[in-house]
Structure 1
Amino acid sequence: MKIKTILLLITLLPAIVNAQWVQANLPPITYSKNALADKFVEFNNTIYAGSFYYGLFHSTDDGNTWTQIRKDLFKQISSIAVVENRLFVNVSLQGVYFTNNEGSTWEKLDVPFLDSSNYVDNVFENNGYLIIYSSVVGFLRMSSENKWERINGDLPEAAKFVYRLNNSNGNITIIINDASFKKHIFTSSNSGSNWYELPYPSILDDINCVENDGNNIFIGTTKGYGSISYDSIGVYMYSQQAKNWKRLSGGGKSWTEVNDISAFVNRLFIATANSLQKSTDGGLTWEKVTNGIPENLSIRSIDRINGNIYVLLYDSRLFRSTDGGETWVNISSNLVYETTDYIHDIAGTDTNLFLHHGGSVGVFTTSNNSKDWAKADLDISSIKAYISAEQTSFFKIFGPYISYDKGLNWIKIETPGGGMPRPFLWTNDITLCDTTLIAATNLGVVVCGYHNPNIMIAANSKGWTTTFTEAIGNCLIEKNKIAFMGTDKGIYTSSDFGITWKQFALTGQNVKWLFLINNKIYAFTKEKVFISALSELSWSEKNLAIQNLQKVVYSQNKFYAYVGDNNTWGNVLENSVDNITSIELEAFSFPTTYFLSQNYPNPFNPETTISYSIPASLNPSKGGTFVSLKVFDLLGREVATLVDEYKQAGTYKVIFNVKTPYMASLPSGIYFYRLQAGSYSETKKLMLMK
């Protein structure tokens, strides 16, 4: 009876030596980043701006300069409010803080009805009260005497799940979905003491915003799932005197969607997807506001604060008008967040190391082992860097830039994409082999041939052809018109410019990065580095002991390791090639003869370990020596196959475990295991005792 595959653990025994990776010298980059503030209040002649990403800022000179407040405390600001002489700041997932001395000191607000895990969704001021909305308990109101009360009396239970809220002109207006997803509109003119439900308009569009001027309620719409066209998009008004809804003029495709509404002093302002609109006749006619407001840009919101109007664009620029909307001034030019940028990527050639910083900082390069850095002449804002081949550099930005002079000049080409030969394909690496571009992708290999590299700038680069699909292509190098590719199944080679591929070495290893240096081949996985002379494959191996390794590059006789995780993106370690090579050669020697060890423990139940050694391969081009290790019963019947593949030189161990579904019926007794490798064959005895 032959038993199929069992649970195995097969490892090549590596040397464990400190590879002496050290911190690389990196250029200190500090730059100004848009603070992305979107909540604003005015308090004691000071403008406060809250950002969900970068905390709280204030300006005492009408927005000319801004200062960040308590960046150690305030990270994600979801709302801010001023009540009497106190400024309240709602920090996402932390709670509400307040100050009564313009930010010199802060205290956390003790909110009844909420435990430590019941976070606040919104805080705002209404008629002298502080109002808190929480999706857990609904609406709470605090008086000037710090007395709290729940103000959900006239609201249904579903009012805890508010998806639109407006606080303007002393009125609170909310839109909710009930349990059956039916929408309702409620309004209160006495700070939540009483709520009044309005009839919901008969529209198919989604309500994007709501406004209440005390006499009328306005809603702005965007195209909903039930809509079949943009024609009904616009502004609708409910008259509390006439008790009905009507659509105001304007809208449709010209507005695309209405993002916000603000009504005051006989003027109605509309923030649309492409402009700020104003009406002075109750919505009968509209005009585009242009005096200081950029044209054809999406307006995110409109706020009225102490008689001033604030308009926020989706690119986070903030404009203010102090004359009722006649003129506008950008007050956010200096509303920035100072940050030390992290590293997005690294890349290397023989002579230069490239480092890409995020934001608008760009690419830096060094030619003296990271001692001195200079800004690279690459006007690319979002780079993913790949360096392939000793003479050619690639920078990928949804399609790479290629350089034939080691980064001095760049030409943009098109990699597989758009007209790619297979769907869902992305390029992991790319190299030039003679006049053919070879791309290693998540689906294998695609190639694109050229007769003259100088015509790369032409549109010919769309002619990609799939040539290999048996493994994920991770990395590529080229030597004397031979292409080497690291894959998730080992190293492959091609001698016909990427058309056909054959297994070369390190079968089963997920080779991420390959380098040819001084006739030695260096193959990196995320955990190890393998080293061998190219002329005669005999691999040494070393555990890297680097946490969160993301990439390895080579430059100026050094390896650079780009490491990081979600919290620490952007560190770079370095190690000399000589150091790694000498450590490896001293630390590990390969067996010179075949050897099969006695299993241990013996007798065993349920598992035992078998070790064996393979000397240098006689067939390196086939991926090593073909090894077979099988288990037989006393009658000579095969019961398990432990190894059945090509193996590189080294010492291995395999665990034979009988506590599996396939092995459950295997009885106690004597068994034999036999190793066959090339012309070598050896058999030993083991005993299972259940």
Structure 2
Amino acid sequence: MALKKLLFFTVLTFFLSNFALTQWQFVGFQTGVGSFPSISVSGPNTVAIGGGPNGQPKVYLSINGGVNWTTLGTTGLGTLEFYCIWMKDANTIFTGDGGAVGGAGGNASYYKTTDGGATWTVLGSTGGSAGFINGIVFSNTNPMFGVTESDPPLGAGQPYYLSITTDGGVTWTVTNPPGVSGAASAQNSIVVIDDQWYGFGMNAGASRVYYTSNGGSTWNVGNLGIAGSFISGFAMSTDKLRGIAISNTSLPNVARTTDGGQTWTSVNTGGDVTGYGTVKWIEGTDIVYISGQTGASGVVKKSTDGGVTWSTMTTGGITGLTHMEFFKDVNAVGITIYGYAVAGDGSVIKLVDMVTSLNPVNSEIPTEFKLQQNFPNPFNPVTTINFSIPKSSHVTLKVFNSIGQEVASIVNKYLPAGNYSEQFAATSNLTSGVYFYKLTADGFSDTKKLMLVK
């Protein structure tokens, strides 16, 4: 009996500890963040909040996972509260303010510090009488490329204000994408994949996003076809095909694209996610998070299949979530995702989400992508397929019949660099004949032939 009790409590402890690692928990509280604070993460325990009360720009920094916070200096800053923030590390931080005091907008500015907030430098100002700096975002795949985005400085429907950097934020070049009738843009809705694909959510009229897929040469409107017009969250996969967007109203308010933003369909997340919803797609994976409100309670939804299905996460009873960000740490067994979200009252919640992957067959790191011939071949009913990936990537390994129809998905997940061995077991409905298996990873693709003989 004692042994059974020990085993029970051991299993229970294991379950609870792992459950806690994959749910949000309250970690700290910071006063004076303003009504719409933003958050940025540069490491597992390094996080910053940008905000401030009316007319008081504030940046707060934590280096112990949100437990304790330091108020950074304001030398060189203006007198307007911040509406967005992006940190490269604890020393290098970018922020953008909200234009005129009181939220009217206009002549918004964006800043940079390289000494942990001791001094700040003005990088640029929008001019005009309308708009806010709604986002400063750098590409995860090309960290030297970043975009600062503002509402149209001359009012809704006029050209937008974008400032582009290709040297990590040292210098910036202003561009002005064409305006869209009646629309400005939404705070923290900007998404940047690389120097070709970036965009943001609109805030008026029909539910729409605005994006470029060719580095700003042309701009496209994506009509979401969902309720609401304020698109507060927008995210894309690094494949530049799949994306999720959310409005700040009630259902149906989440949409999904699989063709790079051209067409969108409504998605059922299993319940309302209203308020200033945020969407974040974890680079190189199929994991997507949505944050917002359900009634009076904060809520975070999670998808592990690119937004097709969703589960609800706990949020520690926090209300009024305004923004969330993530840091992805690649390790030997997969990835660990560190997430932080902030609420309008200054509450901060944290997520540590461990995602395991397939186990490499050995510890050797290959130097090239490679798909090997299956063995045995011909086979019945099981064969082995070996492949190698020299860098962490989202990997798919699929089997197709002779007319191109998918008959099996063997691998469809994020994997660290390594050599892998997978088995394909032909199901009873597959007939004898020639089939093809295809490996895709980080732009690499290779297809080989296999033969099933029953």
- With normalisation by structure 1, the TM-score equals 0.35
Per the alignment, residue 278 of structure 2 pairs with 260
- Alpha-carbon shift at residue 193 of structure 1 (Å): 2.9
For residues 438-486 of structure 1, give each alpha carbon's deviation from its aligned partner in whole angstroms, at most 9, with x where no partner exists.
Answer: xxxxxxxxxxxxxxxxxxxxxxxxxxxxxxxxxxxxxxxxxxxxxxxxx
Count matched residues.
279
| Partner SS, residue 150 of structure 1 | strand
**Residue of structure 2 aligned with 1:34, choices 31, 35, 58:** 31
Per the alignment, residue 118 of structure 2 pairs with 104
Question: Quick one: structure 1 residues 304 and 184, their matched pair in 2 at CA, closer, same or farther if it must change by over 3 Å?
Answer: same
Per the alignment, residue 71 of structure 2 pairs with 68
Question: Quick one: structure 1 residues 104 and 271, their matched pair in 2 at CA, closer, same or farther if it must change by over 3 Å?
Answer: closer
CA–CA distance in structure 2, aligned partners of residues 301 and 40 of structure 1: 6
Give 1:96-175 correspondences, 5 Å limit: 96-110=110-124, 114=126, 121-127=133-139, 128-134=144-150, 135-136=152-153, 138-144=161-167, 146-153=170-177, 155-156=178-179, 158=181, 161-163=184-186, 165-170=189-194, 171-175=197-201
- Alpha-carbon shift at residue 118 of structure 1 (Å): 8.2
For residues 363-422 of structure 1, give each alpha carbon's deviation from its aligned partner in whole angstroms, at most 9, with x where no partner exists.
Answer: xxxxxxxxxxxxxxxxxxxxxxxxxxxxxxxxxxxxxxxxxxxxxxxxxxxxxxxxxxxx
- Alpha-carbon shift at residue 217 of structure 1 (Å): 2.1
Give 1:488-567 correspondences, 5 Å limit: none
For residues 71-99 of structure 1, give each alpha carbon's deviation from its aligned partner in whole angstroms, at most 9, with x where no partner exists.
Answer: 57566222222469742232444733322
1:203 to 2:226 alignment:
yes
1:304 to 2:304 alignment:
no
| Partner SS, residue 67 of structure 2 | coil
1:246 to 2:227 alignment:
no
- In percent, how many aligned pairs have the same letter? 16
Residue pair 1:129, 1:143 contacting (<8 A) in 2 also: yes
| Partner SS, residue 205 of structure 1 | coil
CA–CA distance in structure 2, aligned partners of residues 64 and 70 of structure 1: 20
Residue pair 1:184, 1:197 contacting (<8 A) in 2 also: no
- Alpha-carbon shift at residue 282 of structure 1 (Å): 3.9
Question: Quick one: structure 1 residues 151 and 299, their matched pair in 2 at CA, closer, same or farther if it must change by over 3 Å?
Answer: same
Residue pair 1:259, 1:273 contacting (<8 A) in 2 also: yes
- Alpha-carbon shift at residue 123 of structure 1 (Å): 4.5
**Residue of structure 2 aligned with 1:81, choices 75, 80, 86:** 86
Whichever residue aligns with residue 350 of structure 2, its letter is R
Whichever residue aligns with residue 116 of structure 2, its letter is E
Question: Quick one: structure 1 residues 110 and 71, their matched pair in 2 at CA, closer, same or farther if it must change by over 3 Å?
Answer: closer
Give 1:464-475 correspondences, 5 Å limit: none
Question: Quick one: structure 1 residues 282 and 176, their matched pair in 2 at CA, closer, same or farther if it must change by over 3 Å?
Answer: closer
CA–CA distance in structure 2, aligned partners of residues 162 and 244 of structure 1: 20
Whichever residue aligns with residue 106 of structure 1, its letter is W
Whichever residue aligns with residue 223 of structure 2, its letter is Y
Question: Quick one: structure 1 residues 159 and 58, their matched pair in 2 at CA, closer, same or farther if it must change by over 3 Å?
Answer: farther
For residues 247-289 of structure 1, give each alpha carbon's deviation from its aligned partner in whole angstroms, at most 9, with x where no partner exists.
Answer: 223345x556682222222222222423222222344443221
Question: Quick one: structure 1 residues 294 and 235, their matched pair in 2 at CA, closer, same or farther if it must change by over 3 Å?
Answer: same
CA–CA distance in structure 1, aligned partners of residues 312 and 342 of structure 2: 16
Per the alignment, residue 48 of structure 2 pairs with 48
- Alpha-carbon shift at residue 70 of structure 1 (Å): 1.9
Whichever residue aligns with residue 97 of structure 1, its letter is Y
Question: Quick one: structure 1 residues 234 and 251, their matched pair in 2 at CA, closer, same or farther if it must change by over 3 Å?
Answer: farther
Give 1:272-671 correspondences, 5 Å limit: 272-274=292-294, 275-290=299-314, 293-295=315-317, 297-305=319-327, 308-324=338-354
CA–CA distance in structure 1, aligned partners of residues 261 and 186 of structure 2: 27
Residue pair 1:236, 1:247 contacting (<8 A) in 2 also: yes
For residues 495-537 of structure 1, give each alpha carbon's deviation from its aligned partner in whole angstroms, at most 9, with x where no partner exists.
Answer: xxxxxxxxxxxxxxxxxxxxxxxxxxxxxxxxxxxxxxxxxxx
CA–CA distance in structure 2, aligned partners of residues 40 and 52 of structure 1: 12
- Alpha-carbon shift at residue 240 of structure 1 (Å): 0.8
- Alpha-carbon shift at residue 184 of structure 1 (Å): 4.2
Residue pair 2:273, 2:291 contacting (<8 A) in 1 also: no
Residue pair 1:222, 1:258 contacting (<8 A) in 2 also: yes
Residue pair 1:83, 1:129 contacting (<8 A) in 2 also: no
Question: Quick one: structure 1 residues 324 and 39, their matched pair in 2 at CA, closer, same or farther if it must change by over 3 Å?
Answer: farther
CA–CA distance in structure 2, aligned partners of residues 242 and 193 of structure 1: 15
CA–CA distance in structure 2, aligned partners of residues 78 and 242 of structure 1: 26
CA–CA distance in structure 2, aligned partners of residues 88 and 183 of structure 1: 29
- Alpha-carbon shift at residue 238 of structure 1 (Å): 1.3
CA–CA distance in structure 2, aligned partners of residues 317 and 146 of structure 1: 33
CA–CA distance in structure 1, aligned partners of residues 200 and 327 of structure 2: 20
Whichever residue aligns with residue 216 of structure 2, its letter is S
CA–CA distance in structure 1, aligned partners of residues 261 and 121 of structure 2: 47
For residues 623-675 of structure 1, give each alpha carbon's deviation from its aligned partner in whole angstroms, at most 9, with x where no partner exists.
Answer: xxxxxxxxxxxxxxxxxxxxxxxxxxxxxxxxxxxxxxxxxxxxxxxxxxxxx
- Alpha-carbon shift at residue 100 of structure 1 (Å): 1.9
| Partner SS, residue 117 of structure 2 | coil
- Over the aligned positions, Cα root-mean-square deviation in angstroms equals 3.9
Rg larger in structure: 1
Per the alignment, residue 241 of structure 2 pairs with 215
Residue pair 1:82, 1:125 contacting (<8 A) in 2 also: no
For residues 31-75 of structure 1, give each alpha carbon's deviation from its aligned partner in whole angstroms, at most 9, with x where no partner exists.
Answer: x97233622234587422212326111122232321111257566
CA–CA distance in structure 1, aligned partners of residues 165 and 182 of structure 2: 19
| Partner SS, residue 305 of structure 2 | coil
Question: Quick one: structure 1 residues 285 and 140, their matched pair in 2 at CA, closer, same or farther if it must change by over 3 Å?
Answer: closer
- Alpha-carbon shift at residue 237 of structure 1 (Å): 0.6
Per the alignment, residue 490 of structure 1 pairs with none
- With normalisation by structure 2, the TM-score equals 0.51
For residues 563-612 of structure 1, give each alpha carbon's deviation from its aligned partner in whole angstroms, at most 9, with x where no partner exists.
Answer: xxxxxxxxxxxxxxxxxxxxxxxxxxxxxxxxxxxxxxxxxxxxxxxxxx
Whichever residue aligns with residue 31 of structure 2, its letter is N
Q: Which moved more, 1:72-81 or 1:51-60?
A: 72-81
For residues 330-376 of structure 1, give each alpha carbon's deviation from its aligned partner in whole angstroms, at most 9, with x where no partner exists.
Answer: xxxxxxxxxxxxxxxxxxxxxxxxxxxxxxxxxxxxxxxxxxxxxxx
> Unaligned stretches of 5+ in structure 2?
1-28, 100-107, 154-159, 329-336, 357-454
Residue pair 2:33, 2:49 contacting (<8 A) in 1 also: no
CA–CA distance in structure 1, aligned partners of residues 65 and 308 of structure 2: 34
| Partner SS, residue 233 of structure 1 | coil
